[in-house]
Chain A
Amino acid sequence: MSDARNSVFEGPGPDAQFAQALAQGRFQIQHCSACDQHVFYPRALCTHCGSAQLEWVAPSGAGCVYSSTTVRRKPQAGGDYNVALVDLAEGPRLMSRIDGVPPDQVRIGMRVQARVIDDPIKGKLLVFIPEGATP
């Protein structure tokens, strides 16, 4: 994915590039070649060192639930759902949803794996499922 000419300052920006990849079912994050750290959400500058040398990489998809909440919602509106913060193995933390288990069974510290799913309303959506669970 990385392309030396594809500077964060040229053409469609990091947000658009992320969205385009996600629309194709691919989850990618940025890697800074100046400081060797990873960045998410997509940025024009590395939040660790300020460099613009950010390149897209495919993360391993492995993560760990850093925190989790069950958002309460009436059954007729779709029922309760999970909102979680996941720490990626590469370092960045992001908000997502843990699928594959009921919301009240999501645990902090749970090891999870990224999946891009087809959501009937939102289109391609990045979620995580517990390691070993069937999607």
Chain B
Amino acid sequence: MSTTSPLRGAAAIVGASLSGVPMAPGRSALEILGEAVHGALADAGLKLSDVDGLFTGSSYHFLAGLSVAEYLGIHPKFCEATMVGGSSYVSHLLTAAMALHTGQCEVALICYGSNQGSGFGKLKSMAETPLYEAPYEPRYPISSYALAAARHMHQYGSTREDLAHIAVAARQWAQLNPLAYAREPLSIEQVLASRLVSDPLSVLDCCLVTDGGGALVLVRSERAKDFPKPPVYVLGAAAATWHRQIGSMPDLTVTATAESGPRAFAMAGLAPKDVDVLELYDAFTINTLLFLEDLGFCAKGEGGAFVRNGRIAPGGVLPVNTNGGGLSCCHPGMYGMFLLIEAVQQLRAEAGDRQVPGAEIALCHGNGGVLSSQVTALLGTAATV
């Protein structure tokens, strides 16, 4: 592989677990997180006392690293709770690889839990509406994504029907995933007929509101083969941040993915043609379209045509959001963790009916804020290191 990054393949995921997907009524965010941590450590054959690096984020706890460490009863040497929105957990993957590589910790735990579905029934967020946007009452966050979709449609002629193909593809994947929240059949016509929330986005262009948690355990690669499950290696990761509020986004048709993607690919020594399976943060249908373009899977402006005809659905040429995504599997408020866990399951060939045969390289792309924070990660099996 043509890369000089010392981080390529330096760390590996040796434990992974979901919890509370899609609903865990009566359970708190930290209880859901605790269950995922228990599962991921059991998966890795490790104990909680082995964890000395903690990476987490929360919509419930302002000092998330402190709250989670205390709740778990651990005393991490390295505690990282950078909050860049739903992309945070993909961002944590990068810092966990750095912390392991530089010896700041030996066992890194990335974890998340949320009960926003059963506990609140709507997005649970500590995010403020930006001062200069608040007087106009944009519905947060959908109106910001709607403005991006409207601009893309204006500039490139993409349509609501193109976006509906993305929702339907996600649903078809969800139908293969027993944990997915929304598994009933969905047609293009149903998406187009669904209630508009902030034009041109309708309720079926929006992610779900569910519960869910997840945890990942990482170690340095030299130890990775000593664990029970096949290791999944971090081949590349990169983050880019261009704005906070939508009015400050330079071009609403180009996300910072156009920067994070190429840097992640460069670290991994890979190109889009090498990727077997993609997990893209689909808070809204427009996300999938923008990220496919910005990651180089199709040209800018051609995303609408690209997603048609089942190309990203089960049986299509490019498997995208194989768990059903935030649109149809789960979305507990910050979805980044679920991108990574689905990629791990695919690369371990544990994905059951939705397994992409022979998947060796997965791309996870996290989004935070209102198309604000973009973090791309490339994961691979032992054969790719």
A72 near B150 with CB under 8 A, answer no
Q: Min CB distance, A69 to chain B, in Å?
A: 4
A83 near B143 with CB under 8 A, answer yes
Chain A residues numbered 40-74 whose CB sits less than 8 Å from any CB in chain B: 40-41, 66-72
Chain B residues numbered 120-178 whose CB sits less than 8 Å from any CB in chain A: 131-133, 135-139, 143, 146-148, 150-151, 154
Chain A residues numbered 74-122 whose CB sits less than 8 Å from any CB in chain B: 81, 83, 85, 93-97, 104, 108-109, 119, 122
A69's partner among B132, B133, B150, B247 (CB-CB below 8 A) is B150
| B 278-319 to A, binary, CB cutoff 8 A, 1 in contact else 0 | 000000000000000000000000000000000000000000
B247 near A83 with CB under 8 A, answer no
Whether A95 touches B132, Cβ cut-off 8 Å, given contacts A71-B198, A72-B195, A85-B246, is yes
**List of A residues within 8 angstroms of B154 by Cβ:** 67, 108-109
A95 near B196 with CB under 8 A, answer no
B67 at the interface (CB under 8 A from A): no
**In the assembly, what is the distance between CA of A81 and CA of B135, in Å?**
12
B131 near A93 with CB under 8 A, answer no
A83 near B138 with CB under 8 A, answer yes
**In the assembly, what is the distance between CA of A52 and CA of B109, in Å?**
42
B contacts with A, residue count (CB < 8 A): 26
B136 near A69 with CB under 8 A, answer no
Whether A122 touches B199, Cβ cut-off 8 Å, given contacts A68-B147, A69-B143, A85-B247, is no
A108 near B196 with CB under 8 A, answer no
B245 at the interface (CB under 8 A from A): yes
- Best-surrounded residue of A70, A85, A108 (most CB of chain B within 10 A): A85
**List of B residues within 8 angstroms of A97 by Cβ:** 136
Chain B residues numbered 240-254 whose CB sits less than 8 Å from any CB in chain A: 245-248, 252
**In the assembly, what is the distance between CA of A71 and CA of B148, in Å?**
14
A32 at the interface (CB under 8 A from B): no
B197 at the interface (CB under 8 A from A): yes
**List of B residues within 8 angstroms of A129 by Cβ:** none
B135 near A94 with CB under 8 A, answer no
A36 at the interface (CB under 8 A from B): no
**List of A residues within 8 angstroms of B133 by Cβ:** 95
A-B contact pairs, 15 of them (CB 8 A): A67-B148, A69-B199, A70-B196, A71-B137, A71-B138, A71-B139, A71-B198, A72-B196, A83-B138, A83-B147, A93-B247, A94-B132, A108-B150, A122-B135, A125-B135
Which residues from chain B sit less than 8 Å from chain A, CB to CB? 131-133, 135-139, 143, 146-148, 150-151, 154, 195-200, 245-248, 252
Which residues from chain A sit less than 8 Å from chain B, CB to CB? 15, 40-41, 66-72, 81, 83, 85, 93-97, 104, 108-109, 119, 122, 125
